[in-house]
Amino acid sequence: MRDLLLSLHIIGVAAWLGANFTQIFASNRLTKGNDAVALAWHQTSLALGRTYYNVAGALITVTGILLVFEGDWEWSSAFISIGFATVIIGGLVGFLFFIPTSEQAIEAIEKADTTQATLMSQRSLVGAIGDTALVVLTIFAMVGKWGV
């Protein structure tokens, strides 16, 4: 059971981190120049924020909880607290930052407000870099089993 849970946990993290790296890599290429492409990109980012990341986060959370029950770890271990904090922060940042930023970018593109659209694209990119740094830090904490 542990191997299945750990595999699903890693798949959830890979989904989250992979989407982040894709957003970091593709954002500048897709948001400059062609408004139709930029609009499609921000609509996709919005869909990722509303659905995709929620599924990944739920998978990570459920498997993480079950792994603690299955394993020899304590709930008080730093790496477990860091993991839960990251999922909570990620969910809040998605809801309070990424979704509104995508909505504002879409609105700006539809109104032909290139200044606001560019600002929202840049803001989203910086947020993705920050979110990715948090996920990477959490991976190091998990692999190193910090606080055990």
The region, left, alpha or beta by phi > 0 then psi within -120 to 50, assigned to residue 74 is beta
Binned at pLDDT 50, 70 and 90, residue 90 comes out as: very high
The DSSP letter of residue 48 is I
pTM of the model: 0.91
Q: What contacts 121, CB < 8 A, 6 or more positions away? A: 27, 28, 31, 38, 42, 105
pLDDT of residue 147: 86
pLDDT above 90 (res 71): no
pLDDT above 90 (res 72): no
Binned at pLDDT 50, 70 and 90, residue 123 comes out as: very high
- pLDDT digits over 47-68, tens only? 999 999 999 999 999 999 999 9
